[in-house]
Amino acid sequence: MKVFVTRKIPEAGLSLLEHEFTVDVFPHDRLPKKNEIIAGLADADGLLCLLTDPIDKDVIASAPRLRMIASYAVGYDNIDVAAATAHGILVSNTPGVLTDATAELAWALLFSAARRIPEGDQFCRQEKFTGWAPLLMVGQAISGKTLGIIGAGRIGTAMALKSKGFDMNVLYTDTQPNPTLERELNATLVSLPDLLHQADFVSVHVALSPSTHHLIGAPQLRMMKPNAVLINTSRGPIIDETALATALKEHWIFSAGLDVYEHEPQIPKTLRSLPNVVLAPHVGSATMDARSNMARMAAENMIAGLHGQLPPNCINPEAYRKKI
Ligand code: DGY
């Protein structure tokens, strides 16, 4: 059997795949175009793809032998799962192994945006630091403040739990109560408007879907406190980027820390020119540990799926049940 891999992934996963299958890795150090993915799938039984690959219904319909799609990511908004299911193709993702890495990056952005670290770094490099001053680079305090988590799933929960050392009041929104957060942090489930009105730090952790597209737009940004810091490590289109740029420029909120963008990899010039936003290049899961574990997990899903078993992290088990 043959597996097409759309970009070189860590050896931990590649070697597992190579042990079982003929593996064809997209040879260039860039994102493959849709027609290149289609070409790679001409005789492939399995596809190991990235979150940047558009695996839509055309790609799926064009692949005559495809039986398994193992995504090297936890978010799978780039894959038309319904179309895959209709074709009897199993789809898997990599949950859990990147939870801490992504929650850690959310905290790194929170600290950076609250305490203006990148701005201070630029200031020092440009030789503007002429001495300690009472009003130099004054930011926002974190300890004892209110943290608002939008979406208390795996990563949102990990982000909230890591607030323990900072003695924060934790609010969260979700479709259901989160007993861990309520037990461990005395966290309170509130409505989105209540969270936005009260939180000093707002961190977004929902998956992208039609119902979360532009969940944070101008009306929601207007609800936030002027000292508030907004963090997004989930998916760019959840925040209306034009509205966010206005909010930052006009100081409706204090600052933002972003790892994801609405039209990734493009980052609007307005955002790039603002000093009160910290920009990271979608590196939530970019630790050696997480990336190796993601590779291993994606490969294990692929091996199970192509050997006729239910992959451990299958998103559409109904496609498997249909087959047996
Ligand atoms: C994912 O896996 O969905 C993350 O966005 C990777 O950083």
Question: Mind listing the pLDDT tens digit for each residue in 256-312?
Answer: 999 999 999 999 999 999 999 999 999 999 999 999 999 999 999 999 999 999 999
Same domain, 272 and 190: yes
Q: Enumerate residues 6+ apart whose C-beta is below 8 A from 230.
A: 202, 204, 216, 221, 224, 239, 244, 253, 255, 256, 257
Say whether both 142 and 59 belong to one domain.
no
pLDDT digits (tens, 9 = 90+) for 16-35: 999 999 999 999 999 999 99
Residue 98, ligand 1, Cβ within 6 A: yes
From residue 182, how far is each of 169, 171, 189, 217 by CA, in Å?
Answer: 11, 10, 8, 28
- pLDDT band of residue 179 (cuts 50, 70, 90) is very high
Same domain, 292 and 245: no
Size of the chain, expressed as the number of residues it contains? 324
Distance, CA 72 to ligand 1 centroid (Å)?
A: 8
The mean pLDDT of 159-168, rounded to a whole number, is 97
Q: Is 75 a pocket residue for ligand 1 (Cβ < 6 Å)?
A: yes
- Which candidate in 235, 262, 296, 300 is catalytic? 235
Answer yes or no: do 50 and 105 share one domain. Answer: no
Task: For residue 193, name the pLDDT band (cuts at 50, 70, 90).
Answer: very high
Pairing of strands 146-150, 169-173: parallel
Each residue's pLDDT tens digit, 115-156: 999 999 999 999 999 999 999 999 999 999 999 999 999 999
Out of 282, 291, 296, 300, pick the active-site residue: 282
Ligand 1 near 208 CB (within 6 A): no
Domain residues for the domain of 24 are 2-97+288-323
Residue 317: pLDDT band (50, 70, 90) is very high
pLDDT tens digits, 64-93: 999 999 999 999 999 999 999 999 999 999
Residues 86 and 155 in one domain: no
Ligand 1 midpoint to CA 283 (Å)? 8
Residues 19 and 133 in one domain: no
State whether 223 and 261 are in the same domain: yes
- Same domain, yes or no: 225 and 264: yes
Q: Are residues 241 and 183 in the same domain?
A: yes
Residue with the smallest CA separation from ligand 1 atom 4 is 73
Structural domains in the chain (count):
2
Q: Is a pLDDT exceeding 90 seen at residue 215?
A: yes
Per residue in 30-62, pLDDT tens? 999 999 999 999 999 999 999 999 999 999 999
264 catalytically annotated: yes
**Strand 277-279 with 255-258, pairing:** parallel
Mutation probe of ligand 1 site: the residue of 9, 51, 238, 288 with most atoms within 8 A of C-beta: 51
CB atoms within 10 A of CB 224: 23
* Whether residue 298 is found in the same domain as residue 205: no
Ligand 1 pocket check: which of 98, 104, 209, 232 to mutate, most ligand atoms within 8 Å of Cβ?
98
> Percent of the chain at pLDDT above 70?
99
Residue 136 sits in the same domain as residue 269? yes
Active site residue 235: yes
Residues 53 and 131 in one domain: no
State the CATH number of the domain containing residue 52. 3.40.50.720
